[in-house]
Amino acid sequence: MRVLVLGGTREARSLAQRLVSDCDEVVTSLAGRVARPRLPAGEVRVGGFGGVDGIVGYLDVEAVDVVVDATHPFAERISANAAVACRRAGVPLLRLERPGWSTRPDAARWHWADDHDEAARVTAQLGERPFLTVGRQSLHRFVGPLHEHRCLVRVVDRPEIMLPTRWTLLQSRGPYPVEHERGVMAGVDVLVTKDSGGAHTEAKLDVAAERGLPVVVVRRVGAPAGVGVVAEVEEAHAWVRAQPAR
């Protein structure tokens, strides 16, 4: 099988390893937004496709049999483009998306926001030293509402925008154990995050619950209409094995 994995997540790397072990031809596409990404097994391509037409052309030229979209739950544009492109090209598509955190017992007490702008407005009313863990590409949405707040901002790579002088930048990469998060969050009074799911960054939610901190969470948009979704790598692997070669 010739498999295109839209990657950048732990689940994508795990799936690629399984498929390579099956002797499939696996290409993982990375957006190129992280300076030092963890590379999966198999071939790797870095950078965008050039929209829907670019994906359709790639699927045709590379004779791709199936596509698995295992991008981050908030990589909405590539997921939407892949859904349209695969329909046009007649290539089966599956969405592999880790479960979110909405089923946690404390989730009912969180401040759920439909987008980052709403999250920024809500956060501005909840505390003076927010802990922003929303990724560097969304930080510009928080600058205006939180310009005078003493934000602690955690990102993997340095943001491309100028941050307010009162903000503190922390560059690091997970996973983050609970003890680590207790130290990092010692001085914050509100946690701001996205419903990314997974265990690698969940400990901050445990610490927030321990301390009774308000939590602001940006909701997921969800998979594009008509695209099948699985939550486990094993399910995605079984789906690929069940597909016929083109």
Per-run averaged pLDDT (10 residues), the chain, 246 residues: 95 97 96 76 93 97 97 93 97 96 96 97 98 95 97 94 96 94 97 94 97 97 92 97 87
- 169 and 115 in a common domain: yes
- If asked whether residues 120 and 78 sit together in one domain, one would say no
What pLDDT digit, counting tens, does each position of 60-76 carry?
999 999 999 999 999 99
Say if residue 192 is in the same domain as residue 229: no
Contacts 24+ apart (CB under 8 A), 44-53: 48/78, 49/81, 51/81, 52/81, 52/84, 52/85, 52/88, 53/85
User: Which has the closest alpha carbon to 193: 112, 97, 121, 125?
Assistant: 112
19 and 71 together in one domain: yes
Q: Identify whether residues 195 and 145 lie together within a single domain.
A: yes
Supply the CATH number for residue 36's domain. 3.40.50.720
Q: What is the pLDDT of residue 174?
A: 86
The reply to whether 184 and 130 lie within a common domain is: yes
| Token couple for 223 | 């998979």
Query: b or e along 32-52 (b: 16 or more beta carbons within 10 Å of the residue's beta carbon)?
Result: ebeeebeebbbebeeeebeeb
Whether this model's pTM surpasses 0.85: yes
DSSP state string for 10-78:
HHHHHHHHHHHHTT-EEEEEE-S-SSSPPPPSSEEEES---HHHHHHHHHHHTT--EEEE---TT-HHH
Q: Which residues pair with 117 in a beta bridge?
A: none
